[in-house]
Structure 1
Amino acid sequence: MMTSTPSVSPGRVNSPDGGTDRAEVDFRDLEQIRPPVGIKSWQSSDDRFLHPTVQIAPVDSVKRLGTGRPGWFVENVHAPIGRRVELQFQGPVHLLAMYNEGGRRDGETSIDGFAPSKIRNVAKKLTFVPAGCGYREWLETAASTRLTFLYLDPTVLRNDGGDDYAARIHFEDSGVWETATKLKSAIENGQAKRTLYLSALSSVLAIELSRCYDNAARDTALNRGGLACWQKRAVVGYIEEHLGEQICLSTLAQLARLSQHHFCRAFKQSFGVPPHHYHVQRRIEQAKLLLADRSISITDIGFTLGYSQTSSFSVAFRKNTGWTPSEYRREFK
Structure 2
Amino acid sequence: MSQLSHQDYLVFSQLNASNATLEQSVSLGSGVAAAVWSNAEDYVVYDGPAHHTLSCYLDGGYDISRSSEGQRLTGGAPGKVCVMPQGHESYWEVSGYLRFFHLYFDHNKLSELTTRIWDRDQQVQMPDLTFEDIAWIDALCRNVVMPLNWTSAADRLTLSSAADMLMTYLLQHYAREKSLPDISGGLAPHVKRQVLEYMHAHLGQGVRLEELADLANLSSYHFARMFKQSLGEPPHRYMTELRLQKARRQVLESKVSLKDLALELGFNDQSHFGKKFKQRFGVSPAQARRSEKL
TM tier relative to shorter chain? 0.3 to 0.5
More helix by share: 2
Provide TM-score, normalisation by structure 1.
0.41
* Bigger relative contact order (CA 8 A; separation at least 6): 2
Provide TM-score, normalisation by structure 2.
0.46
